[in-house]
Amino acid sequence: MTRTLLACLLIASVLTSCASRPPAAAPLPPDGPVGGVGLVLDRDERGGRIDGVLGGSPAATAGLAMDEIVAAVDGQAVDGWAPERIAARLAGAVGSEVTADVLDAAGARRTVALRREVVDIGGVTGRLVGGIGVIRIRSFSRHTPYAVRDAVAWLTAAGATGLCLDLRNSLGGPVPTVGEVAELLVDPPATLWVARMHGRDTVVRASQPAMTALPLAVLIDAGTRDGSELLAGALRNAGRATLVGSPTPGALEILRPAPGDDGRMTIRKVGDYLFPALSRTGTDGIAPDVALDGDADDHAMLDAARAALGR
């Protein structure tokens, strides 16, 4: 991933691209959400080139625009910095303020003040609860892997001793995106899942080192569907996570568009997802390791997750 999302959860001090701990930003409260400014940054020798601005975010309100350059944060020049390091300077506690020096297309420089807010990019939000980093994924989009990466990095740097991925009532998205999220958390060569189509099996494995070894719990329920169900199964199949909650619906199938008998295009099943370590397919549903009633509230779920993490 070459871009970084300066959104709900932004910091990257645990990434190998940063040789040292990033400069301190506004500190995160012991329990609470993380604030961001709503930018997507890419690399530029002058600082961070703006590659996206989330509508309604602090950055959008301040008038920041595509291809402008973030050249300094709180008065400190960031030329030559990796986008992740700039993220470390821009992230902080919700409601706190950060300034950014911005260069426009003509090179004119201006300073803008940004008040950090909880910004939802990629269907991802996060918070620190009693030392556990809780990351909520409501749905998957092309931004989700970046947002999860930054969430894991920020919460780790903020002192989280374990992670809890909340996939309850969560929908799906493109399978490659689900795989990118899984690879943030699973070391190779662990198997994530097997795709069986037309009698042929394709084994999907983690291919790059995970960004964290913190213990991981995943919250699941009957609303954990599609891509979220695939992610939960992948993390459990790889032996990476403890699943907490109630069984998933078992609605995972490989579907493809195909012409129907009347010549109209329709969606048909062409294969199955398999989780060999679990001896289950995607239509079997995924059972939790720690079972709770389907109507268990947030406190009960998080308490169970904390116990599963040994925290």
- pLDDT per position as a tens digit, 268-284: 889 999 999 999 999 99
CATH number at 266 reads 3.90.226.10
Confidence of residue 31 (pLDDT cuts 50, 70, 90): low
Tell me if the pTM is above 0.85.
Answer: no
Locus of tokens 């990351």: 135
Short-list 158, 151, 155, 12, CA closest to 85: 12
Does residue 120 sit within a domain?
no
pLDDT at 109 > cutoff 70 = yes
pLDDT at 90 > cutoff 60 = yes
Q: Are residues 210 and 270 in the same domain?
A: yes
Residue 97 parent element (H or E):
strand 97-103
Q: Are residues 111 and 27 in the same domain?
A: yes
Does residue 126 sit within a domain?
no
Q: Which pLDDT value is given to residue 218?
A: 98
What is the 8-class DSSP label of residue 310?
A: T
Domain count, the chain: 2
Q: Are residues 102 and 214 in the same domain?
A: no
Q: How far is it, in rounded angstroms, from Cα 121 to Cα 119?
A: 6
pLDDT at 28 > cutoff 60 = no
pLDDT at 29 > cutoff 50 = no
Q: Are residues 111 and 165 in the same domain?
A: no
Q: Spell 182-213 as b/e; 16+ CB within 10 A means b.
A: bbbbbeeebbbbbbbeeeeeeebebeeebbbe
Q: Which domain range does residue 31 map to?
A: 4-16+23-115
- pLDDT per position as a tens digit, 171-230: 777 899 999 999 999 999 999 999 999 999 999 999 999 999 999 999 999 999 999 999
Q: What's the angle, vertex CA 52, arms to CA 138 and CA 140, rounded to 5?
A: 20
Confidence of residue 10 (pLDDT cuts 50, 70, 90): very low
Q: Which pLDDT value is given to residue 32?
A: 58
Q: Which pLDDT value is given to residue 82?
A: 77
Does residue 8 sit within a domain?
yes
Q: Which residue has the higher pLDDT, 223 or 266?
A: 223
Does residue 142 sit within a domain?
no
Contact 167, 220 (CB under 8 A): yes
Does residue 248 sit within a domain?
yes
Contact 100, 90 (CB under 8 A): yes
- pLDDT per position as a tens digit, 225-259: 999 999 999 999 999 999 999 999 998 999 888 78
CA distance from start to end of the chain: 31
Does residue 155 sit within a domain?
no
- Chain center to CA of 290: 23
pLDDT at 294 > cutoff 90 = no
Does residue 147 sit within a domain?
no
pLDDT at 26 > cutoff 50 = no
Q: Is 146 exposed, middle or buried (0-12, 13-18, 19+ CB in 10 A)?
A: buried
Per DSSP, the three-state class of 185 is coil
- pLDDT per position as a tens digit, 120-148: 665 788 888 889 999 999 888 877 887 88
CATH number at 74 reads 2.30.42.10
Q: Are residues 108 and 165 in the same domain?
A: no
Does residue 131 sit within a domain?
no
Mean pLDDT of all residues in the chain? 84
Given 94, 115, 136, the domain boundary residue is 115
Q: Are residues 91 and 192 in the same domain?
A: no
Q: Are residues 303 and 181 in the same domain?
A: yes
Q: Are residues 182 and 273 in the same domain?
A: yes
Q: Are residues 189 and 250 in the same domain?
A: yes
Q: Are residues 48 and 167 in the same domain?
A: no
Locus of tokens 């959400």: 33
- What mean pLDDT do residues 41-66 have? 88
Confidence of residue 33 (pLDDT cuts 50, 70, 90): low
Locus of tokens 């780790």: 156
Q: Are residues 46 and 168 in the same domain?
A: no
Q: Which pLDDT value is given to residue 1?
A: 46
- pLDDT per position as a tens digit, 71-85: 999 999 999 987 767
Given 82, 115, 148, the domain boundary residue is 115
Q: Are residues 291 and 171 in the same domain?
A: yes
